[in-house]
Amino acid sequence: MQRHEPSQSTAHSPDHDVPTRSDEAAQALRNGPIGAYIVASITVGLLFIGWLVFYFFLFMPRGSIG
């Protein structure tokens, strides 16, 4: 039988860098969502452009129904 050695996670290692002050954490959270807003804006813009392409090149040439 093998004996299992106790493992240590990275979060508990002495090399893990933890913010020591709460104002540093607050500053990081204040500027945090800007990147997410940029990614979401690019995604919505590409989705809208794709919808316009479908509308003008697929639906408009078919004409009105009726």
* CA torsion, ordered 5, 6, 10, 12, to nearest 10 deg: -150
Give the pLDDT confidence score for residue 2 in this predicted structure: 64
Which residue is associated with the tokens 């913010």? 19
Radius of gyration, CA atoms only, the chain: 26
Task: Say if CB 48 and CB 42 are below 8 A apart.
Answer: no
pLDDT for the residue 19: 52
pLDDT for 38? 94
Tally: H helices and E strands in the chain: 2, 0
Residues of the chain with pLDDT under 50: none
Residue extents of the structural domains in the chain: 35-61
Q: Quick one: pLDDT at residue 35? A: 86
